[in-house]
A and B are shown apart, each in its own frame.
Chain A
Amino acid sequence: MLTGSKTTFKVRQMLPDIKERMLSQSGVNSRSRDVFGLRCLPGECVLQRAVMVRKKLTAREGRGWLSGTLFCTHFRVAFVPQDGPKPDDNADPVLLGDHDVALASIEKVVVVGPNRTKLVTSNSSLKFTPEELVLYCRDLRVVCFLFDRLTPDTQVLEITYTIAKTYQPPKPGSVLSFQNAALGSVEMKQFLSNRRRDTHMNWHESSSDWEQELERCGATGWRVSSVNDRFEMSTSLPRYIVVPQKVLDTELKKSFAHFNEGRIPRWCWRHPRGCDLLRMASFQNNIYHEKDDIRNLETILFGCQASLCVVVELGEELPSPADVQLAHSRLRALCLGDISTSVSVPDDKWLSTLEGTHWLDYTRSCLKKASEVACLLRGGHLTVALQEPDDRDLSCVVSSLVQVMCDPHCRTQHGFQSLVQKEWVMAGHRFNSRLNYHRDNDKEEAPVFLLFLDCVWQLLSQYPARFQLTDDFLLALHDSVHLPLFSSFLANCQRERCKRSQSLGQSYTPVNGWRDMLHPDFSPDPSDPPLPPVWDWALQYSKRRRDRFTQPVAPVPPLQPLLNGNLNTNPDTHRLTDTLPGSVFLFSRGAFSCPANLVPWRSSGGSGVYRKSHRRAASSESVPGLERLLKAWALSEFPQGLTSTVGTQGPLDTYEPLLPLLMGPCMGFWRECYLRGALHAQAFSHPISANHPHPVERLAREVQQLKDKLAQASQTDPHLGAKTAEPRWSDTNLNQNTNNGTFLFPAQRPHGTAAPRAAPPPTSTNRQTSRGPPPASAPPSRPSYKDNGGGNKHTFLFGHSSATEARPEKRCYPTPSNAKLPKSNGPSIAS
C-alpha cells in the first residue's frame, strides 16, 4: 500500500517509519490500548501516524491551532493534542475523541501544497509534499491539519496515502467493513452487549412503552394493540400501535387493506386540551368498502372525539423527498464550495445563492404546516390526522414538529430522543434508504431528518429559553446521522431492524422468516457487531461534550396538569362541536374544504350508511369555526411571551405552542452547522470559545453547583429537612410572577433523581405564601436580609427587596458595578 511513495522517496528514509508501524501493531496486541498517546479501541490498529501536526480549530473550538500527533486507523483519523489530558485506561472506550474523524464520514481528502491543491484518491500519487491536509466530511465539517516543517516528509506522505486508501469511498459493502473496524472486535462486542439502555427515555418499543406514553399525555380512550406483532398487517408499522379503545383487533384487521402499506390511522400524541394527533397513509381507493369496514374506519379516524376530524394533507405544500435531496445537495455545495478547486460562491452572491437552494423555503413550509396543526389542536374537540401518501417522510417531520412546539417535554433531551424514537425510528421513517449509507440507492436519498433538525434549530433559535436541549445536541445528532454505526438509522422500519440484529451481513438479501422475534437485541451470530442505538452518546462523545447537550440549569417542563376530562377553555370550540358532529374536513393550502372524494366511503358508500354522516352532511358552512382557530394563529404570531402587557391575563398557558415567526428576515441560517467548513470565515480569534463560555453558561453552572451544595448541606443538616423544598418554592413563585412564566427557568427537574429533596408543598400553599402578606415572623428576617444584601451586591436587584422598601429605579437592572459578571463565589460559600 506504499507504492505511491516508493517512487518519490528513498528506502532509507522509510525504515524508521516501518519500525514505527510495527511498534504500533505490537501495541495493539498488548493489553495496553494506549499507542503513542492514542487510546485505541479494542482491536483497532494504527496504520500510520505523523508527528508534529497542527490541527486548525473552528470557531466553536476556540479557533487557532493545536499541535499534536495525527493517526490513521482502520476506523478513524485521530488527532491527539500534545498537551491533552492523559487518557484513562479504565474508562469505557469512546469511539471518537474530540478531534477525531471517522473514516466513514470523510467525503474527500484534499492536500494543499506550496502552490497547489490536489484531491487525493486511493490511487493518486503526489509529486509534492503536502503542507496541509484537508478532510471534507459528509456532515459538513472540514477538518484541516497543517504539517509542521518538523513533520518528517515520509510521514506526511504516508499518512496522506493511508487515509486516502482506507477512508470509505461510497460504495456498497464498505459500510459493513467500517462497522467491523469500529465494533467488530470480541472485546467491543462484549462491551456493547453489556451496555444498558437509557431508561430516562421512552423507546416506544414495547407495549408498556406505549402505555407509558398514553399515560404521560393523559390520553384516555386509547389502547395499545399488538395486532401487528409479527408485522403481518403492515410491514413498515411497528409491532405496537395505538388505536381507539372501542375498536377490537378483529375489526382493526379489516382496516389495514384500505391504506397504503397498511398504514392505518394511529395515535401519536394528545394535546393537553384533549385533541389527538393521528397519522396515516393515503386511502386505497380501489378496494371495495363494506359497511362494517367503513364504520371501523370512521371509529379509528375520529378517535375519541367522535365529532370532528380534520385531515391535514401533507403532500401539496411541503417539499417532496426529492426536493429535499436537491436542496440539501445545493446547500452542501454552497457551504463547502467546490472542493477540488477551492472555489466558493462569491460573497456578494451568497444571499441569492442561499435562497436558490430552497432549503430555507422548505424549512419554513414545514414549520408553517406544523404551526397550523398546532393551532388546530389548541382549539380542542377535534382529531387531526396527518395524511401523506406513504406516511413515512414529511408526516414524521410535521408530527414531531407539532410536538416540539406544543409539548415542553419534547424540548428536553430525553423527551426529544423519545420523540424521534416514536415518530421516526419506530414509525418507519426509511432512514437507511433516505440516508443512502450503502450508496446503492441514489434515487431514494433524501435527508428529510436533517430538514427536521433544521426546523427544530429554527425553533430553538427563536425560543432559546424554552428548550432544555441545546444546539450542541442537535449538532451531535446531525453528525451522527452520517456515521453508519447506529441501529436507529441503519434500517427502514422496526421489522428490518429486528432482522438486521439477527444477521447483519445479509441485510440486503431477503431472508425467509426470522428467528427469535421476541428478543430483537439478541444476536445469534457472534461475528456480526451488534449495532448500538444513536442515543448511547457515551460511545461517541466525552462527558465534557455530553454536558453541553443540555442547558446547565434547565428550563423544566412544568408538571403535567392532571387531566380530568377535557380542559377546554376556548369558547369558540364549543360552537364547533355543536355544529360539526362527525364531519371530516380536508385542510389544505390554509383552507378547509369538504371534497366528496376525501374519504372514499363518503362517495362510494352512498347515503345513510353511517349514522353520523347521514345525520348532517358536512358542509362548508361550518368552516368558519375552524378558520377561527387558525386566525388565532395569525394573531398569536405576535410576541406572546415577551410582551409584558400580558400581566392581566393570568399565567400564560405553558402549552401554548411555540409558534415561530416565519417572515423571511426571521428565518435563521444554521451557521454553526453548515458553515463549520468555511475556513476563510474563521481567520480571526473569537473571544468566546470553549474555554470562555458565555456568561450565562458560566452563571448557570455556578447556580447548578450552588444547588448541589445546598442539597448536600440540607442533607447533612437533619433538623432542617423541610428546607430542602425551598428552592422549589421560589421557583414556583418565579413562575407566577416573571412574565407569566413564559421564559421561566425553575431550577429543578421534575424527575431529577440526583438532588434529594422533600416533596414540594402543594401549589395552593405556594400561592398563598407568595401572594399573601408576610408571615408574622417576618421581622426577624429583616436583619438577615440586610446582611445578605450588603454582602452580595446582586441581591437587591432581582427582587429580594421587599415591596415596602421599593426602590423602583434600582429594581430592574443591574447598576453598572453590578452588571459585571459575578466572580465565582465558590470559596466564600464553602466557608
Chain B
Amino acid sequence: MASPISIYHSNPLDTHLSSTSRESLKMELLADVSLLPGEDRIIDKDIIYICPFNGAVKGKVLITNYRLYFKSYEADVILDVPLGVISRVEKMGGASSRGENAYGLDITCKDMRNLRFALKQEGHSRRDIFDFLFRHAFPLSHGLPLFAYVTQEKYEENGWNVYNPLEEFRRQALPNNKWRLTFINNTYELCDTYPTVLAVPVKSSEDDLRRVAAFRSRGRIPVLSWIHRENQAVIVRCSQPLVGMSGKRNKDDERYLDLIREANDTTKLTIFDARPSVNAVANKATGGGYEGDEYQTAELIFLDIQNIHVMRESLKKLKDIVYPNVEESHWLSSLESTHWLEHIKLVLSGAIQVADKVSSGNSVVVHCSDGWDRTAQLTSLAMLMLDSHYRTLRGFQVLVEKEWISFGHKFASRIGHGDKNHADQDRSPVFLQFIDCVWQMTKQFPTAFEFNERLLLTILDHLYSCRFGTFLYNCESARDSNELRLKTVSLWSLVNSKMDMYLNPFYTPESGRVLYPVASMRHLELWVTYYIRWNPRIRQQVGPQQSPVEQRYKELLALRDEYLKKLEELQRPDSSPSSRLAHSPSSNTSSSSSSTPLQQYTHLHTPL
C-alpha cells in the first residue's frame, strides 16, 4: 500500500498513558519485568531501538540469561525476545561512523525478524552489551549451559509424562499377532538415533534386525509407526537403503520388507521415497540410494520433496518479502517466487498419498535419505489425517514427541540451539514447515482439531527459546546422557497447566474420520499471523484477542446460558423477579475482565 498517507505510529490505543505515569515509568522502566525463576539480570542500559515500523525509539534494554527485554520511554514499544531466538549478533558501524544511529548492534532472529539497536558512540558503550549478548545467546559456544538447565520453573503437571511409548503402542493395540515390540535398541546399540522401544514384524528375529540395520543408513531400520485399527495397514519409517554405486543388494532387507507386506496380507507394499528421484539417484554416489526392482513385492513412489537446503533458502526468500516491509506491488508473484507454499503443498500432498494408501488397506514404508526430516513430516502428517487422537491437544503432543523427538529429528542441528554458527548448513526450517502444514489443515478443517492456532505459535516460539527441554538435542541417546528429562522442564508442562488457552472452542470430535486437506495452491494460504506477525498492521488474532468468530461463539454461549437460566426461572413460580436482577450485573463484570488472565502470556506475541 504505497500510499502517501500511510504514515503510522505505534498502536494508537496504547498512547493513553498520562505524562506523569510516563515519568515514573522512566524511573523504574524495567522494574515490572517479571523474570522466570532462575532468570538473572545481567545488564541494563539506555539504548535506541531502530524500529522498522516506528523509526528510532529511545528506551532501556535489559538482558538476562534468558531474554532481551526492551521498553521505550515514550511510545510503549516493548520487545521481549528470548535469547534462544537470536541466530546472529553483529556490530553495526564503527566508532568513527557518521550519521544518526549508525553505531550499534544488528540482531538476526530465527523467528522472521531482525532487531537493530543504536548506542552512543562514546566510550565503547556497546562492547559490554555485545559481549553479554553473544555469550548468553550462544551459551553452548561458550561452555555455558542452555537456559533450560538453569530455570527453576515449576508446573503442576510434568509434561515429560505426556508420551510413554509403551502406552502409545498399547493405544494402537500393539503388540498383536503380526507385530512385536523389541528392546533391542535399549542401549542405543542398534541405532543411536532411534528410541529404545521399536515395533517390528513378529516374524523378524533380533538377528534379522541387526542385518537390516547394516543395510540402512545410520542403522535406521524400517519400524512401525502407526497401525490402522480396522484394516491393519501400517506406516513404517526408515532411512534409505545403502545401495551405493554398485547397486548392492541385501536379502535380509528385501525379506524384511516382505514381512511388512505380509503382515496385513496385501499384494504390494508401497514405498514412498520423499525425495525427488534425481536426488535419490544422486545419493547412490554417497553410498545411499533407493529400493530397486529386486524388491519384487514393493512399488516405489517418489514424492519430490526438496531437501533441507532448498527449504532454508525458500524461507529466507519469504522473510525478504515480509520483513520488515511487506512486498506490496507484486505480492502474489513475489510469494510464488519464494516457492514456500509450493513446498508446503508437496509435503501435504505426499502425506495425503500416504494416508490414502493406508486407509485403503495398503501398508506403506516412508523414507528419505536419513529418515529424520521429510520422513517425519510425512508420517506425522499422514497420522494426523488418519487418526483423530492426534488431533486432540494431548494427542498432538504425543505425535510431536513420537514422530519428531523420539525418532531423532535433529532439532539441535536444524535449529542450532545455543550455537553461534549461524551459517551452519545443517540448519533448516523442517519442523516449522510441518507446523505450517498442520496450520493449513486447521484452516481447512476448523472443527477437527482440539487445539488452536495459539498452540502452534507457542510451539514455534519455544522451538527456539531454549526455556524448555522439549526440543533440545538431536536424539534420545543424547537426551539420556544429558539427563534432559531430569534437569529440564517440558514445554507440555506449560501447555497442559494452561490448557484452556490452547483449546479450539469449535472442536467437534469425529473419531475415525480421515481428513484429506486440499493440497492445491488455489487453497493454501500464507500463515500471515505467524510469518508477518511482527508487522503492526497485521491484526493480532492471537494473544488476548480472539478471532471474531471465537468471540462470537463465546458471546453466543453467554447468551444461551442467560436464556436457559431465564427460561428455568420463568418455569419456577417461586422465584422473585429481583433475584434475576442480581445476575446480570455480576455476569457482566466478569465477562469484561475475561481477557485479563491471558495477557500475562502474550509477551512472546506482542507486536512492536
Interface residues of A (CB under 8 A from B): 347-352, 354-356, 360, 368, 372, 463-466, 553, 589-591, 627, 630-631, 633-640, 642-646, 648-649, 661-666, 671, 675, 678, 680-688, 692, 694-696, 699-700, 702-703, 706-707, 709-710, 713-714, 717, 720, 722-723, 726-727, 729-731, 733-734, 736-739, 743-745, 747, 769-772, 774-775, 777-778, 780-782, 784-785, 788, 792, 794-795, 797-804, 806, 808-816, 819-822, 825, 829
Closest CB-CB distance, A196 to chain B, in whole Å?
Answer: 33
Q: Are B556 and A745 in contact (CB under 8 A)?
A: yes
Q: Are A730 and B562 in contact (CB under 8 A)?
A: yes
B35 within 8 A of A: no
Give the residues in chain A near B599, CB-CB below 8 Å: 644
Contact A635/B576 with A661-B537, A799-B591, A816-B499 known, Cβ cut-off 8 Å: no
Q: Are A671 and B548 in contact (CB under 8 A)?
A: no
Give the residues in chain A near B335, CB-CB below 8 Å: 351, 664-665
Q: Are A714 and B570 in contact (CB under 8 A)?
A: yes
| Closest residue on chain A to residue B541 by CB atoms | A642
Binary contact track B525-545/A, C-beta < 8 Å → 1, others 0:
010100010011111110011
B598 within 8 A of A: yes
Give the residues in chain A near B593, CB-CB below 8 Å: 811
Give the residues in chain B near A795, CB-CB below 8 Å: 561, 565
Q: Are B566 and A723 in contact (CB under 8 A)?
A: yes
Give the residues in chain A near B575, CB-CB below 8 Å: 784
B522 within 8 A of A: yes
B177 within 8 A of A: no
Q: Are B4 and A733 in contact (CB under 8 A)?
A: no
Whole-angstrom distance between the alpha carbons of A585 and B496 in the complex?
A: 60
**Which among A633, A645, A663, A770 is the interface contact of B328 at CB below 8 angstroms?**
A663
Give the residues in chain B near A683, CB-CB below 8 Å: 516, 518
Q: Are A666 and B528 in contact (CB under 8 A)?
A: yes
Whole-angstrom distance between the alpha carbons of A804 and B586 in the complex?
A: 9
Contact A702/B552 with A781-B582, A812-B595, A829-B567 known, Cβ cut-off 8 Å: no
Q: Are A591 and B553 in contact (CB under 8 A)?
A: no
Contact A649/B578 with A589-B4, A665-B331, A695-B447 known, Cβ cut-off 8 Å: no
Q: Are B598 and A812 in contact (CB under 8 A)?
A: yes
Q: Which of B9-17, B147-155, B217-225, B372-380 contacts A (4 or more CB under 8 A)?
A: B9-17
Q: Are A671 and B570 in contact (CB under 8 A)?
A: no
Q: Are A771 and B580 in contact (CB under 8 A)?
A: no
Closest CB-CB distance, A645 to chain B, in whole Å?
Answer: 5
B55 within 8 A of A: no
Give the residues in chain A near B450, CB-CB below 8 Å: 819
Binary contact track B576-608/A, C-beta < 8 Å → 1, others 0:
111111111111111111111111000000000
20 A/B residue pairs, CB under 8 Å, sorted by A: A351-B521, A368-B3, A465-B549, A634-B5, A640-B13, A644-B599, A664-B332, A665-B528, A687-B445, A687-B508, A687-B510, A706-B567, A709-B563, A720-B570, A723-B580, A737-B588, A799-B594, A803-B589, A813-B500, A819-B503
Whole-angstrom distance between the alpha carbons of A445 and B195 in the complex?
A: 67
Give the residues in chain B near A738, CB-CB below 8 Å: 551, 555, 591-592, 594
**Which among A744, A745, A816 is the interface contact of B503 at CB below 8 angstroms?**
A816
Q: Are A802 and B333 in contact (CB under 8 A)?
A: no
Contact A639/B589 with A729-B584, A813-B503 known, Cβ cut-off 8 Å: no
Contact A745/B555 with A348-B336, A350-B522, A806-B590 known, Cβ cut-off 8 Å: yes
Q: Are B560 and A699 in contact (CB under 8 A)?
A: yes
**Number of B residues, CB within 8 Å of A:** 114
Q: Are B522 and A675 in contact (CB under 8 A)?
A: yes
B27 within 8 A of A: no
Whole-angstrom distance between the alpha carbons of A324 and B486 in the complex?
A: 65
Q: Are A727 and B557 in contact (CB under 8 A)?
A: no
B558 within 8 A of A: yes
Whole-angstrom distance between the alpha carbons of A646 and B556 in the complex?
A: 22
Give the residues in chain A near B585, CB-CB below 8 Å: 733, 769-772, 774
Q: Are A722 and B577 in contact (CB under 8 A)?
A: yes
Q: Are B8 and A699 in contact (CB under 8 A)?
A: no
Whole-angstrom distance between the alpha carbons of A770 and B564 in the complex?
A: 20
Q: Are B590 and A348 in contact (CB under 8 A)?
A: no
**Which among B444, B504, B581 is the interface contact of A775 at CB below 8 angstroms?**
B581
Give the residues in chain A near B571, CB-CB below 8 Å: 713
| Closest residue on chain B to residue A665 by CB atoms | B528
**Which among A631, A784, A799, A825 is the interface contact of B564 at CB below 8 angstroms?**
A825
Q: Are B553 and A726 in contact (CB under 8 A)?
A: no
Q: Are B557 and A798 in contact (CB under 8 A)?
A: yes
**Which among B516, B537, B578, B588 is the interface contact of A685 at CB below 8 angstroms?**
B516
Whole-angstrom distance between the alpha carbons of A589 and B6 in the complex?
A: 12
Contact A713/B500 with A355-B333, A681-B520 known, Cβ cut-off 8 Å: no
Whole-angstrom distance between the alpha carbons of A591 and B3 in the complex?
A: 10
B559 within 8 A of A: yes
| Closest residue on chain A to residue B552 by CB atoms | A465
B189 within 8 A of A: no
| Closest residue on chain A to residue B499 by CB atoms | A816
| Closest residue on chain B to residue A638 by CB atoms | B11
B506 within 8 A of A: yes
Whole-angstrom distance between the alpha carbons of A646 and B186 in the complex?
A: 57
B568 within 8 A of A: yes
Whole-angstrom distance between the alpha carbons of A379 and B506 in the complex?
A: 40
Whole-angstrom distance between the alpha carbons of A318 and B275 in the complex?
A: 47
Contact A694/B447 with A771-B585, A803-B586 known, Cβ cut-off 8 Å: yes
Closest CB-CB distance, B3 to chain A, in whole Å?
Answer: 5
| Closest residue on chain A to residue B560 by CB atoms | A703
Whole-angstrom distance between the alpha carbons of A707 and B562 in the complex?
A: 10
Interface residues of B (CB under 8 A from A): 1, 3-9, 11-14, 16, 322, 326-328, 330-333, 335-337, 341-342, 345, 393, 444-448, 450, 499-501, 503-510, 513, 515-518, 520-523, 526, 528, 532, 535-541, 544-545, 548-549, 551-571, 575-599
Closest CB-CB distance, B481 to chain A, in whole Å?
Answer: 36
Q: Are B557 and A699 in contact (CB under 8 A)?
A: yes
Give the residues in chain A near B331, CB-CB below 8 Å: 355, 663-665
Whole-angstrom distance between the alpha carbons of A794 and B554 in the complex?
A: 10
Q: Are A812 and B507 in contact (CB under 8 A)?
A: no
> Which of B9, B552, B555, B571 has its CB near the most chain A CB atoms (within 10 A)?
B555
**The 7 residue pairs across chains A and B that have the minimum distance between CB atoms:** A664-B331, A799-B591, A802-B586, A777-B578, A813-B500, A737-B592, A781-B579
Q: Are A720 and B557 in contact (CB under 8 A)?
A: no
Whole-angstrom distance between the alpha carbons of A815 and B326 in the complex?
A: 38
Q: Are A352 and B332 in contact (CB under 8 A)?
A: yes
**Which among B515, B526, B551 is the interface contact of A665 at CB below 8 angstroms?**
B526
| Closest residue on chain A to residue B6 by CB atoms | A634
Q: Are A821 and B507 in contact (CB under 8 A)?
A: yes
Give the residues in chain A near B4, CB-CB below 8 Å: 589-591
Closest CB-CB distance, A355 to chain B, in whole Å?
Answer: 4
Give the residues in chain A near B559, CB-CB below 8 Å: 553, 703, 727, 730-731, 734, 745, 747
Give the residues in chain B near A816, CB-CB below 8 Å: 393, 499-500, 503
**Which among A707, A772, A808 is the interface contact of B596 at CB below 8 angstroms?**
A808
| Closest residue on chain A to residue B337 by CB atoms | A352
Q: Are B520 and A687 in contact (CB under 8 A)?
A: no
Whole-angstrom distance between the alpha carbons of A707 and B553 in the complex?
A: 16
**Which among A636, A644, A792, A800 is the interface contact of B545 at CB below 8 angstroms?**
A644
Q: Are B445 and A686 in contact (CB under 8 A)?
A: yes
Contact A803/B565 with A664-B327, A695-B553, A703-B559 known, Cβ cut-off 8 Å: no
**Which among B516, B541, B558, B589 is the interface contact of A802 at CB below 8 angstroms?**
B589
Closest CB-CB distance, B344 to chain A, in whole Å?
Answer: 12
Give the residues in chain B near A822, CB-CB below 8 Å: 557, 560
Give the residues in chain A near B515, CB-CB below 8 Å: 687
Give the residues in chain A near B393, CB-CB below 8 Å: 816
Closest CB-CB distance, A457 to chain B, in whole Å?
Answer: 15
Give the residues in chain B near A696, CB-CB below 8 Å: 506, 549, 552-553, 556
| Closest residue on chain B to residue A695 by CB atoms | B506
| Closest residue on chain A to residue B593 by CB atoms | A811
Whole-angstrom distance between the alpha carbons of A489 and B8 in the complex?
A: 42
Contact A727/B566 with A347-B522, A355-B332, A590-B4 known, Cβ cut-off 8 Å: yes
